[in-house]
């Protein structure tokens, strides 16, 4: 996708182009952590607020050993696009800490989480920047962070963090929101293409929280989930897999390998086929779901992809070069800024509930999620068809038109020129 070509298509003002080239604020911090054995370690962290033209920055915090400032900046730009695409009153932000959280004890993880908030507390807040969970962070960590912020400012501010435990002001439906939203996007595309869920096979790379909830909901909707993978391996069964049973197995054994799948329709237990990650990407399926990390499909392996369509639940799982190749081959990609927007939509609903002090049942949350994301998805599909561009380009055009209209409303060079 050529972003400059999209700017030209929208006839963006020079002012808007210039503002979109630079993040508004980048903060790098060093977080001292006293380890359980008494040793002191220093971890590098970042918080980037890319743009707040349409509202306070919004975006997750990830804990991962490969986190860099450049990655966090890119993710914060994508969050800017995503929030505008689904018409939320937010800008884009992102945070991260360069750490392998699996190497920490739970007490060390809590101290690191609280230390991150102490390092960034002066630039976050319900009206400035609202963090949320991301890779390797969850509602427990968000609860620690919200509590640390409350201790610093000496008052309860539940709207400062979303994705919290329900007892601390979290929203019902938030945990499954990303997976549910991805299925909503896929359902809308399937309907538009006059396809039927029961006729489609699906392979899912990444069986974490989002991948699991997508898989179980898709399975319930009639899609045939034929392959699943996590960081340790992949499994395949042409007759279909039961995501709930596999999730329970994984929680007990921490791996998918060796899972014994029982097809209850024939009451026959059999061992599934194990695959490598690359073999899963090359399966001949109707929909390949990418729900792991960035750059799962690149120019080095895109030729192996045989799926008829790709659904991006992770952020940036298809590289730009691979995306161009897929477009030339006529393989539609349901892009991340649309497909994984369910999480930020329900984060917005949590933020609203925190601020008004009224909490809604899960059915209400899910209905509002489905309505907002369905409207955004159909707008993207319509624009893509009307302007003969990819769905990703259409999504960016929808979002950028909202962002830049707001920027230009503050005045451009032509307005201020004598």
Q: Which residues are catalytic?
A: 94
Is residue 292 within 8 A of residue 317, CB to CB? The reply is: yes
- The number of beta carbons lying within 10 Å of the beta carbon of residue 312 is 26
User: What is d(CA 80, CA 58) in angstroms, rounded to the nearest whole number?
Assistant: 8
H/E segment holding residue 117: helix 106-120
Beta pairing, strands 40-51 & 91-98: antiparallel
For residue 88, with 0-12 CB atoms within 10 Å meaning exposed, 13-18 middle and 19 or more buried, which class applies?
buried
Task: Please identify which residue in the block is written with the tokens 């804990």.
Answer: 63
Enumerate residues 6+ apart whose C-beta is below 8 A from 56: 90, 91, 125, 126, 127, 128, 129, 130
Query: 3-state DSSP helix/strand/coil percent for the chain, to nearest 5?
Result: 50, 20, 30
Strand partners, 49: 25, 93
Tokens of 311: 């659904």
Backbone angles phi, psi at 28, to 5 degrees: -110, 135
In total, the chain counts a number of residues equal to 418
């Amino acid at each position: 996708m050529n972003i400059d070509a999209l700017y030209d298509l929208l006839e963006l003002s020079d002012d808007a182009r210039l503002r979109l080239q630079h993040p508004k604020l980048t903060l790098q911090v060093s977080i001292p952590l006293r380890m359980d054995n008494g040793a002191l370690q220093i971890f590098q962290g970042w918080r980037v607020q890319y743009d707040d033209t349409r509202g306070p920055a919004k975006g997750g915090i990830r804990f991962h050993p490969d986190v860099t400032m450049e990655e966090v900046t890119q993710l914060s730009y994508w969050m800017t696009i995503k929030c505008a695409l689904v018409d939320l009153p937010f800008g884009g932000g992102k945070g991260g800490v360069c750490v392998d959280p699996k190497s920490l004890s739970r007490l060390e993880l809590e101290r690191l989480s609280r230390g991150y908030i102490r390092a960034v507390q002066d630039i976050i807040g319900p009206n400035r920047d609202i963090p949320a969970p991301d890779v390797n962070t969850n509602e427990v960590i968000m609860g620690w962070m919200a509590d640390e912020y409350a201790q610093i400012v000496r008052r309860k501010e539940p709207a400062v963090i979303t994705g919290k435990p329900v007892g601390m002001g979290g929203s019902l439906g938030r945990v499954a929101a990303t997976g549910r939203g991805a299925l909503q996007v896929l359902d809308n595309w399937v309907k538009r293409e006059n396809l039927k869920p029961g006729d489609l096979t699906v392979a899912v790379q990444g069986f974490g929280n989002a991948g699991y909830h997508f898989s179980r909901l898709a399975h319930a909707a009639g899609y045939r989930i034929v392959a699943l993978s996590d960081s340790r391996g992949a499994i395949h069964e042409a007759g279909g897999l039961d995501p709930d049973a596999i999730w329970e197995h994984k929680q007990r054994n921490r791996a998918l390998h060796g899972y014994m799948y029982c097809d209850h329709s024939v009451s026959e237990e059999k061992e599934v086929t194990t695959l490598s990650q690359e073999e899963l990407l090359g399966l001949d399926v109707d929909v390949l779901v990418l729900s792991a990390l960035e750059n799962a499909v690149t120019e080095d392996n895109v030729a192996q992809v045989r799926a008829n369509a790709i659904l991006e639940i992770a952020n940036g799982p298809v590289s730009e070069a691979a995306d161009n190749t897929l477009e030339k081959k006529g393989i539609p990609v349901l892009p991340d800024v649309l497909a994984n927007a369910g999480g930020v939509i329900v984060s917005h609903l949590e933020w609203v509930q925190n601020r008004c002090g009224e909490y809604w049942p899960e059915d209400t949350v899910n209905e509002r999620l489905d309505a907002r994301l369905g409207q955004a998805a159909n707008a993207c599909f319509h624009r893509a068809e009307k302007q003969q561009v990819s769905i990703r380009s259409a999504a960016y055009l929808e979002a950028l038109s909202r962002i830049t209209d707001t920027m230009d409303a503050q005045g451009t060079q032509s307005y201020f020129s004598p």
